[in-house]
Amino acid sequence: GRSVEVEAGHYVVMGDNRRNSLDSRVFGMVEASDIVGRVVFRFWPIGKAGFVN
């Protein structure tokens, strides 16, 4: 792996499919002001579907 220094006011987002995810490794860091919501429910995999704490 590699280390990344996260800039103040930014987030690094990672997809769950490392070989085929479009995430911060492709698009870079996300500014906090660009985040408009939060995860509240997981749909997949079906066996783990439910509300996220």
pLDDT tens, position by position, 6-53: 999 999 999 888 899 999 999 999 999 999 999 999 998 899 999 998
pLDDT class of 4 with cuts at 50, 70, 90: confident
User: What is the per-residue pLDDT for 16?
Assistant: 83
CA distances from 44 to 25, 26, 27 (A): 22, 23, 24
Please give the structure tokens belonging to residue 40: 């509240």
pLDDT of residue 43: 92
Tokens 């006011």 belong to residue: 9
pTM of the model: 0.68
